[in-house]
A and B are shown apart, each in its own frame.
Chain A
Amino acid sequence: MIMDDFLMRALLAGLAVALVTGPLGAFVVWRRMAYFGGALSHTALLGVALGFLVGVAPELGVAFVVVAAALMLGMLGSVRGLSTDTLLGIVAHAALAVGMVVTATLHNVRVDLMAYLFGDILAVSWSGVVWLWGGAATVLALLTMLWRPLLNATVHADLAFVEGVNVRRVELAFMLMLALVVALAIKVVGILLVASMLVIPAASARTFARTPEVMGILATLFGALAVGFGLWASYVYDAPAGPAIVMMASIFFALSLIKR
């Protein structure tokens, strides 16, 4: 089969995202931060609106707002009497609502909401592909460098600190990587589904992995398979690409449960 050009670009874009959401998603699962990733991605619509308001590319607005939100959420920590879980639930939906309202009040631009909420991978340009691979490679390089201290801090933060790991700095770097990857992955699966690309492939990999590294690599593999099969389903059945990818990832997860 000779692939259509747009499909080729979509596949390359999806693979870039799967490459980095695999190992990073493993940390999200180990650190029980699935909901954190979700909350983070929900702030992205605010970034889109901000981009239009200020007159810069919406991607830039998204990156800015998500990174800022990650730093804020990271510092927020706790409000007396409320669990982090509740706070994240508030932040996620407040941000999404405000983003929707602000986007709707932008008079001179028409924002394709569906593209931001569920991804627009089939419309990705070659420069978009280059950006995605550049971003994914940067985060992956950083993650590889910080792998050991981050793993150590994940196992036991205090123990890591006493043994000389700069836990605060490592965890801050992790938040920033997460924000960056969320900003990247929104292009592929959209604001509402980003967290699934972090969590589902990593969760699928758990059964087959005996070491953290293998789990990260397998997660990338599961993510890549989901991207491939999802795009195929999208092409053949004319299904929306982002949701099709997440659906495939979920099917692989269900299959991984059989082995368990």
Chain B
Amino acid sequence: MTDCSTLITATDVEVRFGGHAVLTGASVTVRAGEIVTLIGPNGAGKTSLVRALLGLVKPTKGSVSRKKGLRIGYMPQRLSIDPSLPLTVERFLQLGAASRHADFDAALAEAGAGHVMHSPMQGISGGELQRVMLARALLREPDLLVLDEPVQGVDVTGQAELYRLIQGIRQHRGVGVLMVSHDLHVVMAKTDHVVCLNRHVCCAGHPEAVSRHPEFVALFGPDIASTLAVYTHAHDHAHDLEGHVIKDGHTHADHVHTDHEGCDHDHG
């Protein structure tokens, strides 16, 4: 299913941490103009998968391939700058991309934080910080936005606004978005493709289908699932306490990575 709109693909990735696998057999594909969201409980390997895709960790098995010349705008989960470092928002943006001043204004405005340009990085609120990081990612004119829990530390109204913003960015710019999120309701409403992780890919697909998937229900509980979906069907495999698949452990990743046709990919 690889075509020229495919930006990045992980195939059957395994990531090990301190000797044991935190993620096995994970596959995910992001295409241009598509929002893909990784969900799953804490320790499910969401961030590990993102780090593997970004090249920050080397998968012990499997591979990651990127479209040639892919530009990534990355928004990390946490940014804590030591208070001893005098850094204004403007300077922080300059560190990411050597653009003109007008571009900084535009990017900050697009991210909805135009007013903090000259504030020190340590003096802005959590929500403003998220927007500033988003602006820095946008300044790179990315083909792919990678957002690790973009609404962290943002209040509820701010969260909805940020998700709307991300959707808007996808629409204007036609970028692909890979997002890690906790907020199931918003994810289900604003995402094209959901990958549910629990140390492996539990299920993947359209949000509606995923919310009905038995593994999803098993992970998040029937209460949450029922608010998101209409019915459930039979569970085809079970998990032990650590999340390992006990029987019939095939995954539901629906993006099978096949040979490339027509466009260049860097394999890593």
Chain A interface (Cβ < 8 Å from any Cβ of B): 29-32, 148, 151-152, 154-156, 158-159, 161-163, 202-203, 206, 209-212, 214-215
Given A148-B95, A152-B95, A163-B140, check contact A210 B74 (CB 8 Å).
no
Is the Cβ of B54 less than 8 Å from the Cβ of A162?
yes
Complex Cα distance, B95 from A212, in Å, reads: 12
7 A-B residue pairs with CB within 8 Å: A158-B74, A159-B74, A203-B84, A206-B84, A211-B86, A211-B88, A211-B91
Interface segment, B75-83, B166-174, B180-188?
B75-83
Q: Which of A154, A159, A161, A209 contacts B86 (CB 8 A)?
A: A209
B179 at the interface (CB under 8 A from A): no
Is the Cβ of B86 less than 8 Å from the Cβ of A151?
no
A-B contact count (CB 8 A): 60
* B residues near A29, Cβ cutoff 8 Å: 82, 84
Is the Cβ of A159 less than 8 Å from the Cβ of B85?
no
Q: Which of B51, B86, B95 contacts A214 (CB 8 A)?
A: B86
Is the Cβ of A158 less than 8 Å from the Cβ of B56?
yes
Closest A residue to B82 using CB positions? A30
Is the Cβ of A155 less than 8 Å from the Cβ of B87?
yes
Is the Cβ of A162 less than 8 Å from the Cβ of B84?
no
Q: Which of B56, B74, B86, B92 contacts A163 (CB 8 A)?
A: B74
B268 at the interface (CB under 8 A from A): no
Chain B interface (Cβ < 8 Å from any Cβ of A): 51, 54-56, 72, 74, 76, 79, 81-82, 84-88, 91-92, 95-96, 136, 140, 146
Is the Cβ of A32 less than 8 Å from the Cβ of B82?
yes
Complex Cα distance, B136 from A151, in Å, reads: 15
Closest A residue to B56 using CB positions? A158
User: Besides A30-B82, A152-B95, 5 other CB < 8 A contacts?
Assistant: A29-B82, A31-B82, A156-B79, A161-B56, A214-B86
Closest B residue to A203 using CB positions? B84
Closest B residue to A163 using CB positions? B96
Is the Cβ of B95 less than 8 Å from the Cβ of A161?
no
Complex Cα distance, B91 from A151, in Å, reads: 11
Is the Cβ of B74 less than 8 Å from the Cβ of A212?
no
Complex Cα distance, B39 from A147, in Å, reads: 38
Is the Cβ of A206 less than 8 Å from the Cβ of B86?
yes
How many Å from the CB of A224 to the closest CB on chain B?
Answer: 20
Is the Cβ of B76 less than 8 Å from the Cβ of A210?
no
* B residues near A210, Cβ cutoff 8 Å: 86, 88
How many Å from the CB of A45 to the closest CB on chain B?
Answer: 29
Complex Cα distance, B95 from A158, in Å, reads: 14
Complex Cα distance, B85 from A209, in Å, reads: 9
Closest B residue to A160 using CB positions? B95
Complex Cα distance, B88 from A210, in Å, reads: 8
* A residues near B92, Cβ cutoff 8 Å: 155
* A residues near B95, Cβ cutoff 8 Å: 148, 151-152, 155
* A residues near B136, Cβ cutoff 8 Å: 159
Given A148-B95, A162-B56, A211-B91, check contact A155 B76 (CB 8 Å).
no
